[in-house]
Amino acid sequence: MSESKTALRVALLSQRSSLATATAECWSRSIQARLLETPLYRSANAVALYSSVQNEAATEKIRDHSLRDGKRVVYPRLLPNRSVEFVEIESATELVCGRSGIPEPIGDKVLSHCADVDLLLIVPGVAFDRRGNRLGRGQAWYDRVIRQWGSRATPVGLAYEFQVIDRVPVDPWDERVLFVLTQERFIDCQKTPEQTKQVC
């Protein structure tokens, strides 16, 4: 299983890194615009975002819209014990380069997983399938986050269309997302693949 995951991860990361900057930016704008139109986003009062790196689908427009809309905006911060906490920001200036080279929040407003919020949890990934299975970078950070928050959060994956594959190999500890958004479609992973809504 680990070998098949590794091979898939290498292939898709290579494909993603080879994207032209203009293409990645265009697709990212479409993905973010699609999310902003969903009832999932409109009903959430808190949004957990990731800082995109290495041609990941961007999240900056979601961040800026959420801040203007009065939603609580949080970003992950890696702790010394390799766990993750979510810290609230009020401005993009509160994100600085972290130890892993990924922008992290510098504030002290940590969002507890017991908080009374309707959290939209935006999740990065190397690959997804239509059942919500996700292939990450292999550190299992977001698997632990999804498990910890449980029904108090709605996990949504953002990806380019080529990152949605027929079947992601899974291990027992892997957690699913409930929805996946690409530049071409909105996928409800709780439905059968035949019920997926195609948007051209």
Per residue in 96-132, pLDDT (tens digit) is 998 778 899 998 999 987 778 889 999 999 999 999 9
Average per-residue pLDDT for the chain:
91
* pLDDT at residue 83 greater than cutoff 90: no
Question: DSSP label at 163?
Answer: G
* pLDDT at residue 195 greater than cutoff 60: no
Q: Are 155 and 137 in contact (CB under 8 A)?
A: no
φ, ψ for residue 69, nearest 5 deg: -85, -5
Look at phi and psi of residue 14 and say left if phi exceeds 0, alpha if psi is from -120 to 50, else beta. Answer: alpha
pLDDT tier at 81, thresholds 50, 70, 90 = confident
What are the pLDDT digits (tens) for 17-43?
Answer: 999 999 999 999 999 999 999 999 999
Q: What is the pLDDT of residue 31?
A: 98
Q: Which domains can be identified in the chain, with CATH numbers?
A: 2-198 (3.40.50.10420)
Q: What is the pLDDT of residue 196?
A: 47
Rg (CA), the chain: 16
* pLDDT at residue 197 greater than cutoff 50: no
Q: Are 123 and 155 in contact (CB under 8 A)?
A: yes
